[in-house]
Amino acid sequence: MATHRRIKLNNIDNSGFGPNSNVEGGRLTNKDGSTNLRKTGRPFWERISLYHTMLRMPRNKFWLFIILCYTVVNLFFATIYFLIGVDKLAGINPDTPLFERFLNAFFFSSQTLTTVGYGHVAPNSITTSFVASIEAFVGILAFAMVTGLLYGRFTRPRAYLLFSHNALVAPYKGGRALMFRMATFKNNHLTDAEAMVTAAVHVTENGKQLTHFYPLGLEFSKVNSLALSWTVVHPLDEQSPLFGYSREDFLEARLELIVAVKAFDDHFSNTVQQRTSYHISELVYGARFLPMFHRAEDGTHTVLELDKINAHEPAKLAEPEISVADTTVALG
C-alpha cells in the first residue's frame, strides 16, 4: 500500500534550458550531444561557423563535400575556358566533338587548380592566361584550407566514448537504480573520468507545463581509469528526486537524462569531453546489463566486447513503496 511522504526536490535553474515545456520541440539534447535547437533571426552565414561544421562533420560527408567542391570549381572554370574558346588553349583540337572539347577544358582546369601543369595544354592568349592565374590562386588558397581542416580534424581531442543505446531501471542492492553504460572504443586511455547527469522532468503546476532539472547523485561520479566499461548508477533511494517513480510516472514525466562526461587523455595531454542524452523512449524499465568483458581463453589478457555494450536482459524489480501520484512534492 502506498504511503504519503513529503520529498524535497532541489531543482537547478542554470541548466541553460528554459523551464517552459510548451516551447520544447522533442528532446532537449540529441544522442550525439548537440543541442536540439535551431536558431533564426539572422542570415544563414551569420548563424553558421563553416570551420566548426567541417571539423564536426562525419568522415564520409566531409570527403563527399570536398570532392563536390573540387568538381564544382573545376566545372566553373572549365565553362569559362569553353566560353572563351578552346582555340585559346594550345594543345586542344577545336575540331574535336563538343563534349571532348569540354572534357579537355575540364582537365586543364584541374591541372591549373592543383598547379600540376603537365604541359600538354597551355593558355595562348591574354584572356585565358588571366583566368588561369586566378584559378591557380584559388587552388593555392583552397588546398591550404583543406590541409588546415585535415590537420584540425586529425588532431582535435576527442573522448571516443561509446554509450549504451538504452538507460535501464535495474535492481540495485535490494532496491532500484537508474543506470547506463559507457566505454572507450579507440586505443586511447582516459584517466580521471567524471560523469555528470541531469534529469529533465516535466510537471504540471497551476495548469501549466514546466520542466524542472535535477542533478542526479551517482554511486561513483569519478573513476581513476576508464580502461573497461563503466556503468554509471544513480540509486533511486530516498535521496533521489526520482524516488518512488513507477513505470507510469517515468512516462508521464517524459524523463530525459542529459549526460556530460569529461576525462584526461594522456595521448593528447588534454581534457576531453563528450555529451549524450537518454529520452524516455530509450528507457527500459525492469532490466539489467549483461557482462561485456571476460578473460581471454589463454588467460593472458581481458577481452572487452564493445558490441555488447547495450546487451541487457529482463529483471524483476521491487515495486516502489510510494508512487509519485501519492507524494506531496515541495520544489526547492
Contact criterion met (CB below 8 Å) for 142 and 73: yes
Name the average pLDDT for the chain: 86
pLDDT at 15 over 90: no
Q: Return the bridge partners of 202, or none.
A: 211
All structural domains of the chain with their residue ranges:
6-37+158-331, 44-155
Of the given ranges (53-62, 122-131, 323-332), which has the lowest mean pLDDT? Answer: 323-332
Report pLDDT digits (tens) over 223-248. Answer: 999 989 999 999 999 999 999 898 99
Burial of 271 (0-12, 13-18, 19+ CB in 10 A): middle
Contact criterion met (CB below 8 Å) for 112 and 139: yes
Identify the pLDDT of residue 9. 56
Q: How far apart are CA 87 and CA 81, in angstroms?
A: 10
pLDDT confidence of 324, banded at 50, 70, 90? low
Contact criterion met (CB below 8 Å) for 4 and 327: yes
CB atoms closer than 10 angstroms to residue 233: 19
Q: Which three cell numbers stand for residue 241?
A: 528526486
Decide whether 6-37+158-331 matches 44-155 in CATH topology. no
CATH no., domain 6-37+158-331? 2.60.40.1400
Identify the pLDDT of residue 86. 84
pLDDT at 65 over 50: yes
Average pLDDT score over residue span 1-7? 36
pLDDT at 21 over 70: no
More confident residue, 206 or 226: 226
Half-sphere exposure of 75 (CA within 13 A, CB side): 6
Record: fold of 44-155: Helix Hairpins (1.10.287)
Q: How far apart are CA 275 and CA 252, in angstroms?
A: 25
Q: What are phi and psi of 179, to 5 degrees?
A: -150, 155
pLDDT at 332 over 70: no
Of the given ranges (35-49, 74-88, 137-151), which has the lowest mean pLDDT? Answer: 35-49
Q: Which residues of 274-287 are buried (b: 16+ CB within 10 A; e: fewer)?
A: bbbbbbbebbbbeb
CB atoms closer than 10 angstroms to residue 174: 6
Q: How far apart are CA 7 and CA 332, in angstroms?
A: 10
| Amino acid at position 73, single letter | V
Identify the pLDDT of residue 156. 85
Average pLDDT score over residue span 137-161? 91
Among residues 96, 73, 72, 75, the alpha carbon closest in space to that of 86 is found at 96
Percent of the chain with pLDDT over 90: 53
Report pLDDT digits (tens) over 290-309. Answer: 999 999 889 899 999 999 99
Contact criterion met (CB below 8 Å) for 246 and 255: no
Of the given ranges (48-52, 196-200, 225-229), which has the lowest mean pLDDT? Answer: 48-52
